[in-house]
A and B are shown apart, each in its own frame.
Chain A
Amino acid sequence: DTGVSQDPRHKITKRGQNVTFRCDPISEHNRLYWYRQTLGQGPEFLTYFQNEAQLEKSRLLSDRFSAERPKGSFSTLEIQRTEQGDSAMYLCASQRAGGYTEAFFGQGTRLTVV
Chain B
Amino acid sequence: EDQVTQSPEALRLQEGESSSLNCSYTVSGLRGLFWYRQDPGKGPEFLFTLYSAGEEKEKERLKATLTKKESFLHITAPKPEDSATYLCAVATGANSKLTFGKGITLSVRP
Spell out A's residues near B (CB within 8 Å): 4, 6, 31, 33, 35, 40-45, 48, 50, 55-56, 91, 95, 100-108, 110
In the complex formed, the residue of B with least CB distance to A4 is: B43
Chain A residues in 8 Å Cβ range of B36:
105
Please tell me if the beta carbons of A108 and B43 are within 8 angstroms of each other in the complex. Answer: yes
Please tell me if the beta carbons of A100 and B51 are within 8 angstroms of each other in the complex. Answer: yes
Spell out B's residues near A (CB within 8 Å): 4, 31-32, 34, 36, 41-46, 49, 51, 87, 89, 91, 95-103
CB distance from B92 to the nearest CB of A (A): 9
Given contacts A42-B87, A42-B89, A100-B32, contact A107 B43 (CB under 8 A): yes
Please tell me if the beta carbons of A45 and B97 are within 8 angstroms of each other in the complex. Answer: yes
Given contacts A40-B102, A42-B101, contact A105 B45 (CB under 8 A): yes
C-alpha spacing A44/B103, complex, angstroms? 12
Given contacts A42-B87, A42-B89, contact A103 B98 (CB under 8 A): yes
C-alpha spacing A50/B96, complex, angstroms? 11
C-alpha spacing A40/B105, complex, angstroms? 9
Chain A residues in 8 Å Cβ range of B51:
100
CB distance from A43 to the nearest CB of B (A): 5
In the complex formed, the residue of A with least CB distance to B4 is: A42
C-alpha spacing A43/B34, complex, angstroms? 13
Give 9 A-B contacts (CB < 8 Å), ordered by A residue.
A4-B43, A6-B43, A35-B98, A43-B98, A44-B100, A95-B96, A103-B46, A105-B43, A107-B43
Please tell me if the beta carbons of B100 and A102 are within 8 angstroms of each other in the complex. Answer: no
Given A42-B102, A91-B43, A100-B32, 9 new contacts (CB under 8 A): A33-B98, A43-B98, A43-B100, A55-B95, A100-B91, A105-B44, A107-B42, A107-B43, A108-B41
